A and B are shown apart, each in its own frame.
Chain A
Amino acid sequence: QVQLVQSGAEVKNPGASVKVSCKASGYRFIGQYIHWVRQAPGQGLEWMGRINPNTGDTDYAQKFQGRVTLTRDTSISTAYMEVRSLRSDDSVIYYCVREALGMDVWGKGTTVTVSS
Chain B
Amino acid sequence: EIVLTQSPGTLSLSPGERATLSCRASQSFSSSYLAWYQQKPGQAPRLLIYAASSRATGIPDRFSGSGAGTDFTLTISRLEPEDFAVYYCQQYSGSLPYTFGQGTKLEIK
Contacts and interface: CB of A to CB of B under 8 A. Distances in A.
A99 B103 CA distance: 20
Interface stretch (A11-19, A42-50, A74-82, A84-92): A42-50
Contacts of B35: 102-103
Interface in B33-87: 35, 37, 39, 44-47, 49-51, 54, 56-57
Interface residues of B, number: 24
A107 B100 contact: no
A20 to B, nearest CB: 14
Contacts, number: 56
Contact of A106 (B44, B99, B102): B44
Contact of A109 (B44, B57, B100): B44
Nearest to A104: B47
A90 B96 CA distance: 22
A89 B84 CA distance: 28
A47 B100 contact: yes
A47 B97 contact: yes
Contacts of B90: 45, 102-103
Nearest 10 CB-CB pairs, A to B?
A: A102-B50, A102-B35, A106-B44, A45-B100, A47-B98, A61-B97, A101-B50, A104-B47, A102-B47, A44-B103
Interface of B: 35, 37, 39, 44-47, 49-51, 54, 56-57, 88, 90, 92, 96-103
